[in-house]
Structure 1
Amino acid sequence: MLWVAPGGFSDLLEGCTKKKDLDLLVNSMRSVNPDTLRQLHEVFGGELMTLGPGMGGVAPPRSVHAAYNTKPTLSINYTLGLLEEKGRPLGTLLSVGTTTIWAEQQLAAIKCSLGTLRKRAR
């Protein structure tokens, strides 16, 4: 199962109108499951796809995506545009049965943003 939404983490943070939305976002950074992906889709929009074995999907550049197959450790990720065609970024190819690679720089930036957001909420 794959969830893809346009924009970046700042767009998701702006979409957090309730504390439970922020909690969903924070918890989804650590782990997702099919129910979590459905909740992300309901709260933040985007597209939800079910992929079978051997099937793949493409997350467009500058989009947020989360995937789940048989391991509950795949988390929200940000697509920078890793697939290219004639020098034009197409997105990140996601395939069931592979793991999503977490970008440490993105995680650090998100934690910083969430820390700022939490301070404002107090």
Structure 2
Amino acid sequence: MAFKKILSRLIDSVPGANGAILADWEGEAVDQVARMDDYELKVIGAHKGVILANLRDVVRRLEGSDLKEIVVTSAHMQVIIMPITPEYFLVLTLERSDALGRALFEARRCVMLLRDEII
């Protein structure tokens, strides 16, 4: 299954989803699906990659374990960041709503599918 098809399923299954991006460890987009400006999604992906890398280091130092997911909430948007492998991660952007539980469920499923494609 192609990356774009997996990402499309993700944003189609989450109410209020605006975009999903598969990025590498440097924050470079590998593939993406957007209902928003493509460039803006790439910038969000790159910035969230920096957050992921920094928080991964903190969690490893404090807990000796791997970070599983990050949720960033602002006044109008929620962003879910999930590592797929040490080299790749998923970012899902959505409108701030009551669909966070559904978004987390679908994003976790998406991560498993993407991991199967990558490995």
**TM-score (normalised: structure 1):** 0.29
Q: Which structure is higher in helix share?
A: 2
**TM-score (normalised: structure 2):** 0.29
Q: Which has the larger radius of gyration?
A: 1
